Amino acid sequence: MQPTDADGFPIGRHPGWPARLGPLRTARGAVALRPPRLRDGGIWSRTRLQDRDYLQKWEPTALGGWRERNAPAAWPAQWAALRGMARRGQALPFAVIVDGEFAGQLTVGNVVRGALRSAWIGYWVASRLAGGGVAPAAVALAVDHCFGPVGLHRLEATVRPENERSIRVLEKSGFRREGLFQRYLDVAGSWRDHYVYALTTEEVPDGAVTRLVRSGGASRF
């Protein structure tokens, strides 16, 4: 039987997973990343339901209503799906933690090995923590982990042109705009254009965390 860590993830299944990253000090508190837990369901649901207006306009259209999809009862299936992808080496799912409390999610998905060594990155953070450096810190921690222990070469992110806050988060970590995907994703019931941003390991030779710290966006403990 394969040994597992405290969160139930197999140890040594693929490079860099499971992992706990950080913390970094920001204006909103100490930011860290860890694997999601089954017991996160309550705070996950409360945060998502409270932040419906803040989050729904940026997220892909899905079956069912917002309350149904983000109820506490919906979390176990989502957690199991993330856990399964992590076990198979297809994704690195994280909970964003601020001062020890659940504050959002960050997922590195569609992990491809071989000659490509690429993945995409997506994230959300509770509205009460917006503008305090939490999302940039979380992204920087994930970037350095992906370009280090995970062994990836390239990360991509897609973002709607109207989502200026998320664009700033990506640019603080060194992501550059590569182009526009027209009518790329169904969001809020319509096909929306998205910018595609990308970053390769050569573009952050000292690391995304170092870049963020030098800019004054975070500090190390």
Express each pLDDT in 145-195 by its tens digit.
Answer: 999 999 999 999 999 999 999 999 999 999 999 999 999 999 988 999 999
The pLDDT value recorded for residue 13 is 58
Are 33 and 18 contacting, i.e. CB atoms less than 8 angstroms apart? no
* Single pTM value for the model: 0.92
Are 97 and 20 contacting, i.e. CB atoms less than 8 angstroms apart? no
**Residue 18: cis peptide before it, omega within 30 degrees of 0:** yes
pLDDT tens digits for range 77-104: 999 999 999 999 999 999 999 999 999 9
Phi, psi of 117 (to 5 degrees): 50, 65
Residue 152 neighbours by CB under 8 Å, 6+ apart: 111, 117, 118, 119, 146, 201
Phi, psi of 135 (to 5 degrees): -60, -45
Q: Please, where are the H alpha helices in the chain?
A: 41-50, 52-55, 66-69, 75-87, 134-147, 164-172, 208-215
Distance CA 198, CA 185 (A): 18
pLDDT tens digits for range 2-15: 555 554 544 545 78
Question: In terms of CATH architecture, what is 21-220?
Answer: 3-Layer(aba) Sandwich (3.40)
By DSSP bridging, strand 190-200 and strand 92-98 are unpaired
Distance CA 180, CA 16 (A): 31
At 214, list the tokens.
């030098």
The pLDDT value recorded for residue 1 is 57
At 3, list the tokens.
């040994």
| Amino acid found at 179 | G
The pLDDT value recorded for residue 189 is 86
Cα dihedral 126→129→133→137 (10° resolution): -40
Find, among 69, 88, 65, the residue nearest to 78 by Cα. 69
The pLDDT value recorded for residue 16 is 87
Residue 75 neighbours by CB under 8 Å, 6+ apart: 38, 40, 41, 44, 45
Bridge partner list, 20: none
pLDDT tens digits for range 45-69: 999 999 999 999 999 988 889 999 9
